[in-house]
Chain A
Amino acid sequence: MRKLFRYPFLCFMALTIVAVMPSAWRQLGLLPPRQPRRAILAEIPEIRFPAAPEPLPEPPPMEEEPSLEELPPEDSLPPQPPEDPFTGALFIGDSRTEGIRLYSGITEADFFSSTGMSVYTVFEERLDAGGLKKCTLNELLTEKQYQRIFLMLGINELGYKIEETVQTYSETVATLQELQPEAYIIIQANLHLAKKRSDSDKTFNNNNLNQLNQAISQLADGKTIFFIDVNPIFDDENGYLTEAYTWDSVHILGKYYSQWADWLRENTPV
């Protein structure tokens, strides 16, 4: 044993491994976690958690999504589709919104987006947006007024329990309305995954995405909050993202973002 001390590297490595092992085992689920999941999340937002062991609950009973044409006009003036939806607009989202920012050709709107963004981190991140440097979303929405806010989040939250995500989503939308009472909130459905990824991943797949999309579409009230779904233009006949449009099964290729922008020009409801 005394000989071991002649090899300080070995000593240090043994100590390090023993010291780190409990955390590693906790991370792998071999030891129970020390704190509830949300608390850990607050410290290190990007660690992936294993999918919830309980089965996901039944989705809420499918109501007919009120299509915009069927809505009885409550006010005298029903909301009109805009000529130019992007001036005075803000996009909030994750890496797919980053794709829109970089490749769609939309220059009139502001973007508050980053890879990995989720409803759990959207108010904590500091980004360069709307001419401000390293601002939080709160600061941005206090400084500038927008006519419409496009919101697309959800895929980074698939590892968490769906009820928590929907609850946080709804709180997020409520906060946005508080900060920007004049703005319309337009929730976009999360983009589907291609078959290769969706069929092989227990967490990140279209079933979970569709469940989440369904749940957040319930937040739309047709007056100030709307829900739109771009998936039909990129999906194949089975509801997967068409293979030809993507390389990594998650993001569409750069050249297709302009189609997304065109679709938004036609289909932004208000």
Chain B
Amino acid sequence: MVFSSLPFLFVFLPGFFLIYGLCPRRWKNAALLLGSLAFYGYGVLETPEYFFLLLLTIFINWVIGLRLDARFRHRRLWLVIGLIYNFFWLFAFKYAGFFFDNGAVLWRLASGETITRNWELILPIGISFYTFQIVSYLIDVYRETVPPERSLVNLGAYLCMFPQLIAGPIVQYRQVARELRRRTVRLPQIDQGLRTFVLGLGSKVLLANRVGGLWTDVSAVGCESVSTPVAWMAAAAYSLQLYFDFYGYSLMALGLGQMMGFSLPENFLQPYRSLSMTEFWRRWHVTLGSWFREYVYIPLGGNRCGKLTQVRNLLAVWLLTGFWHGASWNFILWGLLLFFLLTIERMGLRRILERRRWLGRIYMLLLIPLSWMLFAITDFQELGLFFGRLFPIGGPARGVIPMDYIPYGKLYGPILAAGFLFCTPLPGWLWKRMERNPLGIAVLLAIFLGSVYCLFRGMNDPFLYFRF
């Protein structure tokens, strides 16, 4: 179930909070677990086996967590078993196809035989997120940072809680351990949580979905048939859509968590205001970066080793980060690009960018959309064509309408401008001044009603063509 959808807003949420609110405290985690399982089950109705996989994962990790208690002798073995179990499913569903295809390519080069893959596995929803989350639990218990969770219900609630099950933030167990056991919610938190939720909803429905239309329009026409200004507009549109979509989702997760008494971690800290890629990746998808730092970079040695080893550690982290995003070569290339930029910045570029802020801004203004293009376009030929449109030094163009930036500009100019505006500090500054007074309430209600209206009109998701 998508958060920005009528079933979620008007069926699941009211129903869930009614039951959750009426539950006595002892049963609240159970209600949360059952509600979240229902939420997940609805999302995987076509593939019910993934629901049972989730149940199995909770159970097995609970058992293993208990075995990782400090007193046990074979705890290291149990950790390995746990890691293998969890990563096995992630690997099988997400990466097996990729390795098979590439293996087939190598085989064809070596022996001339062509093997085609006739199986296609659909990724269980949320598996990239919940795998990382449960692995963080196992490692934290092993490191004795937290005691193992004795209650199966509590562990299940931690892993499955619907605000963050599908799209993060990746919550480390110790961040919510205390709240799982005991939390109180009063009206102020519900009020604040609901406000945050509405802001997230608006970010997704009113900003992300609208500006994303430009990217889908340009993709549908084919990048060879747009002019250079429009190609740049499309790249900007994609960058803005990605941000507001993911940011909106994270805000909604935070708000929902707050309404239940959980303080989930923030995932986005105004990333588009960064002056360097290093800063960007400390503000974008913060919980993913933290996970990699905590469980890959630091165990490999982190910053406490020679410069060359540090570079190696960074490379490992970025190859894995790229690969985590998708099982295809463009993601690996994207990870490599970021590794390259981060290394150069470490070697001194960053100091220059931060000292001359205008330089930093221009640098990021170019690199953000360009790096996202590598992320967005999976096929290398298409990528080449698109870059040929961005930098038209004799690249091919077929069927480009002259001055097409005028109709595109008229159609998408306002929403692009709004998107840029919301990346600046201005709206935040304004909001701080009005959130507590009646104007703030009016704005929130307007955002909510506007979003609901868009959902009714089916303009919810530009990828679902309701109008052809």
Q: Footprint of B on A, CB under 8 Å?
A: 3-4, 6-10, 12-13, 16-17, 20-21, 23-25, 27-28, 30, 44, 46-48, 94-96, 99, 102-103, 105, 115-116, 155-156, 204, 246-248, 250-251, 253-255, 257-258
Contact = CB atoms under 8 A, between A and B. Distances in A.
Contacts of B6: 24, 27-28
Contacts of A9: 191, 194-195, 441, 444-445
Contacts of B194: 9-10, 13
A255 B226 CA distance: 10
B449 interface: yes
B393 interface: no
B452 A20 contact: yes
A109 B50 CA distance: 54
Interface in B1-47: 6-7, 9-11, 14
B222 interface: yes
Given A9-B191, A9-B441, A47-B456, A257 B399 contact: yes
A158 to B, nearest CB: 9
Interface string B453-468: 0001110000001111
B110 interface: no
B187 A10 contact: yes
Interface stretch (B127-135, B213-221, B360-368): B213-221
B225 interface: yes
A27 B6 CA distance: 9
Given A48-B458, A95-B467, A254-B225, A247 B10 contact: no
B308 interface: no
B173 interface: no
A13 B224 CA distance: 47
15 contacts: A7-B191, A8-B438, A9-B445, A16-B448, A17-B10, A21-B14, A28-B10, A44-B457, A103-B401, A116-B467, A247-B220, A250-B220, A253-B224, A254-B225, A255-B222
Report, nearest first, the 3 A-B pairs whose CB atoms are least far apart.
A254-B225, A253-B222, A116-B467
B220 A251 contact: yes
A16 B187 contact: no
Given A28-B11, A103-B221, A250 B465 contact: yes
A19 B448 CA distance: 13
B466 A254 contact: no
Contacts of A17: 9-10, 14
Interface in B388-425: 398-399, 401
**Main SS at interface, chain B:** helix
Contacts, number: 114
B190 interface: yes
B221 A48 contact: no
A27 B398 CA distance: 43
Contact of A12 (B9, B401, B445, B456): B445
Interface string B183-206: 000011011001100100000000
Given A13-B445, A30-B11, A156 B468 contact: yes
A59 to B, nearest CB: 22
Output the residue of B225, B226, B448, B467 with the most chain A CB within 10 A: B467
A16 B449 contact: yes
A16 B446 CA distance: 11
B468 A16 contact: no
B216 A248 contact: yes
B10 A116 contact: no
Contacts of B401: 102-103
Contacts of A99: 221
Contacts of A96: 468
A82 B388 CA distance: 40
Nearest to B398: A255
B224 A248 contact: no
B465 A204 contact: yes
Contact of B10 (A10, A20, A46, A251): A20
Contacts of B222: 247, 253-255
Given A155-B468, A156-B467, 13 more contacts: A8-B441, A9-B195, A9-B444, A10-B187, A25-B10, A27-B456, A28-B6, A47-B456, A102-B401, A103-B225, A253-B222, A254-B221, A254-B224
Interface string B222-252: 1011100000000000000000000000000
Contacts of A8: 438, 441
Contacts of A27: 6, 456
Contact of B399 (A4, A47, A254): A254
A48 B466 contact: yes
Contacts of B188: 7
B31 to A, nearest CB: 20
Interface in B254-301: none
B132 to A, nearest CB: 28
A40 to B, nearest CB: 12
Interface centre among A94, A155, A253 (most CB of B within 10 A): A253
Given A10-B194, A103-B399, A28 B7 contact: yes
B187 A248 contact: no
Most chain B CB neighbours (cut-off 10 Å) among A95, A103, A105, A204: A103
Nearest to B467: A116
Contacts of B225: 103, 253-255
Interface centre among A46, A156, A254, A255 (most CB of B within 10 A): A254
Given A8-B441, A10-B187, A116 B468 contact: yes
A246 B399 CA distance: 15
